[in-house]
């Protein structure tokens, strides 16, 4: 009887000592996650080109800092957090190429409500992708939250995306409200968008450029224009301000380089 009591006491000690440590480990893992909610969308920017567009949004009330090498679209993360399967009877996995190089450290910060976006191009990572789509269709799946990433999941965000068998691969078509886009472009002083670049050249008074509240208000208008009229862009777009239309362009352009050297042109 005495031996039984001793054994019971030892078992109770093991439960007290070891079980809380496991709980603390799980809590520690959750605490290490950044309050950046991740959403994933399937996009087709060109004919038979497939990509995952990934959004991270700061859902906290504080500024969040994240290292670029932890972002889900940068190697080696870009092939680790999701899996691709053929939609055959066995759901055979599609082999992915893994990039083993890493980016250097650089920290970016997101204010509350701010988001950052970029893409993972699927075709180069899966040489058999187009054949698999033609014969079976494919399913893209990830855990929520992904074990290999530091982020949380956007509420009600899907964890599975599918490309059906025989998908034509036609690029995404966006319906734009042309009259609204014309009005928004005039409101922000849009001069032009250089071909092949996610950059807006704006005609802007210098008094607006040097006034922080006014430039903030203008940037909100620019964001509205991009959201409604350039839906294929991610958050990597840029803005250049010009006080005169004739100077609108990149400094590398022949004419603008001459203006800049003479001190009569400069974009911001």
Domain ranges across the chain = 34-163, 178-261
pLDDT for the residue numbered 204: 96
Angle between helices 212-229 and 178-188 (to 10 degrees): 160
- pLDDT above 90: residue 229: yes
Q: Which CATH class is domain 34-163?
A: mainly beta
pLDDT for the residue numbered 254: 60
Under the banding of pLDDT at 50, 70 and 90, the label for residue 265 is very low
**Which residue is it, tokens 């939250």?**
145
Question: What pTM did the predictor assign?
Answer: 0.68
DSSP string, 74-120: STTGGGTSEEEEESSTT-PBPP-------PPP-EEEE-TT-EEEEEE
* Residue 116, CA distances (Å) to 1, 53, 181 in order: 66, 11, 23
Per-residue pLDDT tens over the stretch 5-48: 444 444 343 333 344 444 444 444 455 899 999 999 999 989 99
As a dihedral over the C-alpha atoms of residue 33, residue 39, residue 42, residue 46, rounded to 10 degrees, the angle is: -90
pLDDT for the residue numbered 258: 53
Kindly state the DSSP code that residue 155 receives in the 8-state scheme. T
């Amino acid at each position: 009887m005495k031996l039984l009591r001793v054994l019971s006491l030892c078992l109770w000690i093991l439960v007290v000592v070891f079980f809380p440590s496991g709980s603390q480990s799980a809590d520690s893992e959750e605490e290490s996650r950044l309050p950046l909610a991740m959403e994933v969308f399937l996009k087709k920017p060109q004919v038979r080109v497939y990509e995952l567009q990934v959004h991270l949004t700061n859902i906290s009330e504080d500024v969040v800092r994240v290292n670029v090498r932890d972002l889900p679209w940068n190697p080696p993360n870009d092939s680790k957090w999701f899996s691709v399967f053929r939609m055959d009877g066995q759901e055979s996995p599609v082999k992915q190429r893994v990039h083993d190089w890493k980016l250097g450290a650089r920290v970016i910060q997101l204010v509350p409500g701010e988001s950052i976006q970029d893409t993972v191009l699927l075709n180069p990572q899966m040489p058999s992708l187009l054949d698999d789509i033609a014969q079976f269709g494919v399913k893209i799946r990830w855990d929520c939250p992904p074990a290999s990433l530091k982020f949380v999941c956007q509420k009600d965000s899907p964890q599975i995306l599918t490309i059906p068998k025989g998908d034509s691969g036609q690029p995404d078509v966006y319906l734009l409200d042309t009259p609204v886009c014309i009005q928004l472009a005039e409101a922000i002083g849009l001069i032009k968008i250089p071909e092949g670049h996610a950059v807006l050249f704006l005609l802007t008074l210098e008094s607006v450029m040097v006034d922080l509240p006014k430039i903030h208000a203008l940037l909100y208008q620019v964001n509205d224009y991009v959201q409604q009229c350039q839906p294929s862009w991610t958050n990597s777009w840029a803005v250049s301000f010009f006080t005169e239309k004739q100077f609108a362009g990149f400094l590398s352009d022949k004419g603008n380089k001459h203006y800049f050297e003479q001190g009569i042109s400069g974009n911001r």
